[in-house]
Amino acid sequence: MTRALVASRPGELAVDDVTLRALGPEDVRVRIAGVGVCHSDLSMVNGTLRPSYPLVLGHEASGVVTEAGESAGVDVGQHVVLNWAVPCDTCWHCTHGQPWLCSTIEGITGAPGGTLADGTPYDACLGLGAMAEEVVVAASAVVPLPNDVPLEEAALLGCAILTGVGAAQNAGHVAAGDTVLVLGLGGVGLSAVAGARLAGADRIIAVDVSDSKESLARVAGATDFVVASPDLAKRVRSMTDGRGADVALECVGSATTIRQAWTAVRRGGTCVVVGVGPKDQEVTFNPLELFHFSRTLVSSVYGNSDPRRDIAGLLEHVAAGRLDLAATITDRITLDDVPAAFERMQRGQGGRALITFPDHDL
């Protein structure tokens, strides 16, 4: 039996004993070290997404392989970060350089994970269900980590950091000397700030509704901090000789902030939609501004990353001291504290909450 955080229906969470699915020849069993509380986990239980229930939450995690199937090709004892978006390598997008749009992972919210104590089958969030003491996943869903990388914090490489850094580098193509605007400073937004800094941005203007995010933003690499307001674009232009930002990274996912980010970008600049918004809002543009400003509007899906390639690049930054895995972590919690972490997230408080397992001797 494994303790896991089970959502039995929207809004109903409990830590329960579950039985993981049997280990297949190509699977590994991973003892979890750290799990980040991601906004997508909240979206799975607050009605934004419609997964099937019961569902074990969690998809941003690290751990140690404790058992491996005969053809898994992974050693027991290997430190790993879990990958919730395993590309198939054969579909059109995979064979055309866009594995993050792989057709086999499009729209997936869960996969069979095991059974609850009463025998009811449950789904594992994004195929991982990592808010648990242990998981059984396909070997293709683990990316090896060097032993000297802080294991608990490395969980964030699996979602927030890959998504945020990838948004800046792969989707926004932030270049040395750029002025970058980042709206929304949760785990992903703060990682987008770090990504812009890694890409050599000169000026990084971080924006949030809460001024409590300023110190986190500056630690992540922001040069300027602005509290969100309706005249944001005007303020950004006044900070950039009237031009606007070269790249905006919108990490909220609302029509208002997407429109603000777009308006704050210079002629010929790029606005990246990173936040996952609802479908009952609309963003409007007039034809003349589309022509005149010549801006690019793109979205970033999982940082337009291939985790198998891009986590290695992030680890080089970690090894060189350019990327601090713990910089965005503001709360260290246990499985039982997740509902409170969701409440803080909804109030816009804090950076990343990291679930750890003090009993795990890893």
Q: Residue length, the chain?
A: 362
Q: Are 140 and 72 in contact (CB under 8 A)?
A: no
Return the residues of window 191-230 that contact Zn ion according to CB under 5 A.
none
Pairing of strands 2-9, 12-20: antiparallel
Cα separations (Å) of 337 from 188, 252, 280, 357?
Answer: 21, 24, 32, 12
Specify which residues 290 forms β-bridges with.
none
In this chain, which of 2, 40, 300, 328 binds Zn ion, going by CB under 5 A?
40
Cα separations (Å) of 118 from 19, 49, 115, 172?
Answer: 10, 26, 8, 48
In this chain, which of 94, 206, 251, 323 binds Zn ion, going by CB under 5 A?
94
Q: How far apart are CA 225 and CA 241, in angstroms?
A: 18
Tokens representing 299? 């979205």
Nearer to Zn ion, 6 or 161 (CB): 161
Nearer to Zn ion, 87 or 129 (CB): 87
Nearer to Zn ion, 38 or 314 (CB): 38
- Cα of 351 vs its chain's centroid, Å: 12
Q: How far apart are CA 3 and CA 78, in angstroms?
A: 22
The 131-170 contact track toward Zn ion, x by CB under 5 A, reads ----------------------------x-----------
Question: In 3D, which of 100, 257, 264, 254 has the Cα closest to residue 171?
Answer: 100
Site size with Zn ion, rule: CB under 5 A: 8
Judged by DSSP in three states, 104 sits in coil
Q: How far apart are CB 146 and Zn ion at their closest, in Å?
A: 23
In this chain, which of 7, 37, 38, 167 binds Zn ion, going by CB under 5 A?
38
In this chain, which of 15, 88, 297, 326 binds Zn ion, going by CB under 5 A?
88
Nearer to Zn ion, 102 or 233 (CB): 102
Nearer to Zn ion, 38 or 199 (CB): 38
Nearer to Zn ion, 23 or 91 (CB): 91
Q: How far apart are CB 166 and Zn ion at their closest, in Å?
A: 12
Nearer to Zn ion, 116 or 125 (CB): 125
DSSP 268-280: EEEEEE-S---SS
Q: Is residue 65 within the footprint of Zn ion (CB under 5 A)? A: no
Count of alpha carbons within 13 angstroms of residue 93, beta-carbon side? 16
Q: Are 316 and 323 in contact (CB under 8 A)?
A: no
In this chain, which of 15, 23, 49, 91 binds Zn ion, going by CB under 5 A?
91
Q: Which stretch binds Zn ion (CB under 5 A): 80-88, 190-198, 295-303, 323-331?
A: 80-88
Q: How far apart are CB 103 and Zn ion at their closest, in Å?
A: 5
Q: Which stretch binds Zn ion (CB under 5 A): 43-51, 88-96, 199-207, 235-243?
A: 88-96
Q: Are 95 and 320 in contact (CB under 8 A)?
A: no
Nearer to Zn ion, 39 or 79 (CB): 39
The residues binding Zn ion (CB under 5 A) are 38, 40, 87-88, 91, 94, 102, 159
